[in-house]
Amino acid sequence: MKKTFATLMAVLACACAMYAGPKDAPRFINIVNFVRQTEPRIGDGMEEELYRCTANQLSLLNKYGLKGTFLLQYDAMIDPRYQYLLKVRLREGSEIGAWWEITQPHVEAAGLQWRGAYPWDWHANVGFSTGYSQEERKVLVDVYMEKFREIFGYYPKSVGSWYIDAFTLDYMQREYGIEASCMCRDQYGTDGYTLWGGYWNQAYYPSKVNAFMPAQTEDGQIPVPVFRMLGSDPVYQYDNGIGSQMQGVVTLEPVGAGNGMGGSVPGWVDWYLEMMAKGECLAFNYIQAGQENSFMWDRMREGYEYQIPAIRKMIDEGLLVEATLSECGRWFRDNFKLTPATSVVAGDDFLKSAKRSIWYDSRFYRANLFWDGADFRFRDIHFFDERKKSDYYDRAGTTTDCRFTTLPLVDGYLWSSKDVSAGLRVVSEGKALAIADPKVIRRGKSTLVIKGRTLVGRIRIVLKEDRIVVGIPFSKGKWELALNTAPAASLPFGALSPKAMEASEYGFAYSVRLIKGRFAQSGDCVWKVLPSCGRVVFDTVQTR
């Protein structure tokens, strides 16, 4: 392992020298395939089809000389076919880890009673650790880890899941030395799982009481980076499904082809990989390729067979750095004591429809700046607070769905309708200002500056680790920031004063404070902020 890690560092040194972007911002790619042994929705021949899919994934990685991360659900781990496949055919440098969905064999090996309708039941109260008490979670971890070591001779270093609870992740780290984890991208309602408002891409150190919430302090964090999975389109994924109860999917998953975009569409794959490899970013960029075997080989084959050689080519060109999930985890811990600021910048969109999107994340907040032709808005701003305990931290979830959220200031998905696009806009004389010719500039390790032109002067938006600054210092007219939402939107806001606004998300109170500018109420918007000396500055820190 020491030799493998040294090799990774050497590759990083070489690859970073070839980037057009900052030399200390590598662009990692993980190929993560998670493996189930059973899928009750498939029917006859299900186990053979699942195995065939994983075997074909592994063969394709071997063909192109790529290492992968294979995460095993308990039922697959105890299947001799998967054991032989991964022990004998897995490429050197690849990784075997844990996929943390709970199955009947796992529960019964732990001496617990299975409550599911099938041997693997995807509903939240039985198929995920959130459906079990803390003592049951510990037993489930112990049983899995000892069986894994019995089979492979060591404890796994990576664990992944659509979502995982903080108690389980912390226990895995303290007792078994887990070094990296991965969790599903943001989604609303998909399969009954809502993960909304989190650290949008790359990775973060989670709160000790909420694995979805980035921590702000070393004392409050679990020292295991959680990487966001599945490669969301930074332009189109967010708005997909507005007005419905479930968000659509535009991701790198090889089965994806919604609205002519996604991981099975060659042109979209090329656009996405190019954007992630060459777009301006801060600390690092991160792509997760691969697919769960439950989608079956025949469905994913076309997309998978296109992506793997494309990834190989970009690695050979020095544009991407190949690594396993645990290697990324170790690199992250070696470089960051606290969650860093990161960004994803899409200077255009795949459909060439004049859309642009900038995502910025720090340990205090996330923000999305969005252009739809002439319409510019902050499409999303969510604050983070490590003190917000998850509903599932110390009690088992009893419902078939789950919910993880952070603290909204702007929510362009939930507060929009098919007719109204919610957002925080720069307004002059009641009309939203377009921002033309935007330029994105990196300042230091954690600051992104966006400059552009408006009808009233040159605008400068600064995204810093602990604040958001909007300024038109030499304005030729009055301007302000205004939040507009759909009329029926359910909003969290309470008492408003010139320098602060109170809010509450699912019973957790938080504040929105201004360093410069002042809040005001208005009949034509939810609230607005008037600048002071040509600037508005939001304080994004909840724990000062």
- The per-residue pLDDT for range 235-283, each reduced to its tens digit, is 999 999 887 777 888 999 999 777 789 999 999 999 999 999 998 899 9
Q: Over range 463-490, report the average pLDDT.
A: 93
DSSP string of 462-477? Answer: EEETTEEEEE-TT-SS
> What pLDDT band is residue 289 in, cutting at 50, 70 and 90?
very high
Give residue 19's pLDDT.
Answer: 31
> How far apart are alpha carbons 55 and 476 in whole angstroms?
64
Look at residue 270 and tell me if it is in a domain.
Answer: yes
Contacts for 41 with CB less than 8 Å, ≥ 6 apart: none
Give residue 292's pLDDT.
Answer: 93
**Per-residue pLDDT at 507 exceeds 80:** yes
Give residue 130's pLDDT.
Answer: 95
**Per-residue pLDDT at 341 exceeds 80:** yes
- CA distance readout (Å), 64 to 235, 341, 485: 30, 33, 49
Alpha helices by DSSP H, listed for 121-254, are 124-127, 134-152, 166-176
Domain count, the chain: 2
- CA distance readout (Å), 493 to 72, 389, 503, 526: 43, 20, 4, 9
Helix (H, G, I), strand (E, B) or coil at 387: coil
Q: Provide the phi-psi class of 7: left if phi over 0, else alpha when psi is between -120 and 50, else beta.
A: alpha
Give residue 23's pLDDT.
Answer: 54
Give residue 9's pLDDT.
Answer: 42
232 shares a domain with 127: yes
Alpha helices by DSSP H, listed for 91-240, are 104-109, 124-127, 134-152, 166-176
265 shares a domain with 142: yes
- Number of Cα atoms under 13 Å in the Cβ half of residue 238: 28
Give residue 18's pLDDT.
Answer: 27
Look at residue 47 and tell me if it is in a domain.
Answer: yes
296 shares a domain with 377: no
Q: Which of 203, 345, 355, 366 is nearest to 274 (CA)?
A: 345
> How far apart are alpha carbons 257 and 5 in whole angstroms?
36
> How far apart are alpha carbons 216 and 385 in whole angstroms?
7
- CA distance readout (Å), 44 to 41, 50, 118, 291: 10, 11, 15, 22
148 shares a domain with 262: yes
The residue among 109 and 522 whose pLDDT is bigger is 109
388 shares a domain with 254: no
Helix and strand numbers, DSSP H then E, in the chain: 11, 31
> What pLDDT band is residue 544 in, cutting at 50, 70 and 90?
low
Q: Which of 297, 318, 340 is the last residue of a domain?
A: 340
- Matching residue, tokens 């009641």: 430
> How far apart are alpha carbons 261 and 215 in whole angstroms?
34
Give residue 24's pLDDT.
Answer: 62
Look at residue 1 and tell me if it is in a domain.
Answer: no
**Per-residue pLDDT at 81 exceeds 70:** yes
> How far apart are alpha carbons 537 and 497 in whole angstroms?
15
Q: What is the dihedral of CA 449, 450, 456, 457, to 10 degrees?
A: 60
Are residues 543 and 528 in contact, defined by beta-carbon separation less than 8 angstroms?
no
> What pLDDT band is residue 451 in, cutting at 50, 70 and 90?
very high
Q: Over range 36-57, report the average pLDDT.
A: 88
Look at residue 19 and tell me if it is in a domain.
Answer: no
| Gyration radius of the chain over CA positions | 23
Identify any residues that bridge with 358 across adjacent strands, giving them in sequence order.
Answer: 345, 369
**Per-residue pLDDT at 374 exceeds 90:** no
Look at residue 17 and tell me if it is in a domain.
Answer: no
Q: Which pLDDT tens digit goes with each residue over 193-219?
A: 899 999 999 999 999 999 999 999 999
Q: Which of 302, 324, 340 is the last residue of a domain?
A: 340
Q: Which of 536, 538, 345 is nearest to 439 (CA)?
A: 345
Give residue 362's pLDDT.
Answer: 97
**Per-residue pLDDT at 408 exceeds 60:** yes
348 shares a domain with 335: no
Q: Which of 174, 115, 116 is nearest to 141 (CA)?
A: 174
Task: Name which of 196-200, 331-335, 398-402 the model is least confident about.
Answer: 398-402
Are residues 489 and 414 in contact, defined by beta-carbon separation less than 8 angstroms?
yes
Give residue 426's pLDDT.
Answer: 96
Strands (DSSP E) contained in 56-200 are 69-72, 95-99, 158-161, 180-183, 193-196
Are residues 278 and 320 in contact, defined by beta-carbon separation less than 8 angstroms?
no
130 shares a domain with 67: yes
> What pLDDT band is residue 2 in, cutting at 50, 70 and 90?
very low
Q: Are strands 27-35 and 285-289 parallel, antiparallel or unpaired?
A: parallel
383 shares a domain with 284: no
Tokens linked to 49: 């089809």
195 shares a domain with 109: yes
What whole-number percentage of the chain has pLDDT above 90? 84
What whole-number percentage of the chain has pLDDT above 70? 95
pLDDT averaged over every residue in the chain: 92
Q: Side chain identity at 346, as an amino acid letter?
A: A
> What pLDDT band is residue 476 in, cutting at 50, 70 and 90?
confident
> How far apart are alpha carbons 203 and 277 in whole angstroms?
17
> How far apart are alpha carbons 79 and 294 in whole angstroms?
16
Q: Over range 394-403, report the average pLDDT.
A: 91
- Number of Cα atoms under 13 Å in the Cβ half of residue 286: 29
413 shares a domain with 304: no
351 shares a domain with 333: no
Look at residue 473 and tell me if it is in a domain.
Answer: yes
The length of the chain is 544
Give residue 305's pLDDT.
Answer: 96
174 shares a domain with 109: yes
Give residue 542's pLDDT.
Answer: 92
Look at residue 370 and tell me if it is in a domain.
Answer: yes
**Per-residue pLDDT at 174 exceeds 90:** yes
Look at residue 15 and tell me if it is in a domain.
Answer: no
**Per-residue pLDDT at 7 exceeds 50:** no
Give residue 131's pLDDT.
Answer: 95
CATH number of the domain within which 268 lies: 3.20.20.510
The residue among 4 and 172 whose pLDDT is bigger is 172
Helix (H, G, I), strand (E, B) or coil at 436: strand
* Domain membership of residue 170 as a residue range: 28-340
The residue among 473 and 159 whose pLDDT is bigger is 159
Q: Which of 297, 321, 340 is the last residue of a domain?
A: 340
